[in-house]
Amino acid sequence: MKAFMGIVLILLAGLGASVWIGFHTKLSEGKLPYDDDQKGISEQVVIKFSHVVAENTPKGLAAQRFAQRVNEKSAGKIKIEVIPNGGLYSDQEELEALQRGDVQMIAPATTKLSSFSSKWQVLDLPYMMPTRDSIIEALNGEIGETLLGSLEERNMKGLALWTNGFKQITTNDGPIVQPSDLKGQRLRIMPSPVLERQFELVGAKAIGLDFNETYRLLESRELNGEENTISNIYSKKFFDVQSDLTISNHGFLGYAVIMNEDFWTKLTNDQQTIISEALDETTRWNQTQSFEMNDEQLSLIEDNSSIDIHYLTNEEKREWAKRWQPLYREFEEEIGKELLSKMIKLRNNNKDF
């Protein structure tokens, strides 16, 4: 029995020694032993998603929701790291960073894509999509598909279109009710030939500048005003540094959700499916939530700020639309006749004033 116990002890000592030696060999080779959780993390795909707006906006919330759904669907194997407020890149920088592959995902305002394909300008034409339904129909149908497809030549994979809502006008020199009320004013716009001409046609000077520069320029009165959605006016507190807000619903602001094409093609089929499904769910949610959010934040501005709010009547809207009508012809060639006529048909089926 003693002899047997001796053999067992020797075997156990040998086993212990080999485990110890193995562990230290791995350490010296720089390979730490790991459990399954550790293995999962080392195989995690991390996707940086950069955008320029606040978190409590339609885009900010959609980005977070998308990140959460991807995390759930992939059991943590795909991590979407959302960086809001231009924390990584400003508007122009994020487009360049995406093409270089320094960031994998962005969701710029569609207006900012017109330098890549002039087709995108169709969404900037004033009063082109007069109702919420017309926006959804344009984005979810053939028009949206054509626009997303136009990004392929630029090493960008267009994955989805999100909405924010209708643009309104704010100024420090209001009230702005008639087109002539904007005469001589200097306004911030997103860089866009259509938007520049839009304000030129009513006698104002519009300058394309970064979104996150806007508050400072309005506060210092270097600019008189700007156009934006209620959600951006609310979340960036433009209402604090402007005296008048005109509810004109004259333009559309929405987003193209884009991934670096090389990065996208390197993902496995399963990874692509997870991302596409999470995006489809998020897009459906965004397309109702964004309008509700703009409505709620308009009430908050109304209740909590001293800005004067002017709601354009249908007759006043018709006056603005008449002044801007020449733009449709001016940009027909750049946008393309076919796309423009599809859009005009959609507009005519959805007229509301």
Binding site for ligand SIN (CB under 6 A): 52-53, 59, 109, 164, 190, 211, 228, 232, 253
Residue 171 or 232: the one with the smaller Cβ distance to ligand SIN is 232
Chain residue whose CB lies nearest ligand SIN: 211
As measured in angstroms, the least distance from the Cβ of 300 to ligand SIN is 18
| Other Cβ atoms closer than 10 A to 157 | 19
- DSSP type of residue 191: S
b vs e for 296-309, b when ≥16 Cβ sit within 10 Å of the residue's Cβ?
ebbeebeeebebeb
Cα separations in angstroms, 353 against 182, 240, 312, 314, 347:
22, 31, 11, 5, 11
Residue 52 or 307: the one with the smaller Cβ distance to ligand SIN is 52
Q: Among all chains, which residue has been given the structure tokens 């997303």?
A: 148
As measured in angstroms, the least distance from the Cβ of 255 to ligand SIN is 6
Beta bridge partners of 226: 170, 188
As measured in angstroms, the least distance from the Cβ of 253 to ligand SIN is 6
As measured in angstroms, the least distance from the Cβ of 170 to ligand SIN is 12
Beta bridge partners of 91: none
Residue 109 or 143: the one with the smaller Cβ distance to ligand SIN is 109
- The span from the CA of 151 to the CA of 261, in Å, is 9
- 156-171 and 244-260 as β-strands: parallel, antiparallel, unpaired? antiparallel
Residue 164 or 246: the one with the smaller Cβ distance to ligand SIN is 164
As measured in angstroms, the least distance from the Cβ of 210 to ligand SIN is 7
Residue 92 or 131: the one with the smaller Cβ distance to ligand SIN is 92
How many Å separate Cα 59 from the centre of its chain?
A: 5
Q: 139 Cβ partners below 8 Å, 6+ apart?
A: 161, 163, 254, 287
How many Å separate Cα 52 from the centre of its chain?
A: 8
As measured in angstroms, the least distance from the Cβ of 53 to ligand SIN is 5
Closest CA to 292 of 170, 139, 165: 165
Residue 210 or 332: the one with the smaller Cβ distance to ligand SIN is 210
Closest CA to 321 of 352, 293, 290, 297: 352
As measured in angstroms, the least distance from the Cβ of 104 to ligand SIN is 18
Q: Among all chains, which residue has been given the structure tokens 């209620």?
A: 230
As measured in angstroms, the least distance from the Cβ of 56 to ligand SIN is 13
Residue 164 or 294: the one with the smaller Cβ distance to ligand SIN is 164
Residue 53 or 301: the one with the smaller Cβ distance to ligand SIN is 53
- The span from the CA of 196 to the CA of 187, in Å, is 10
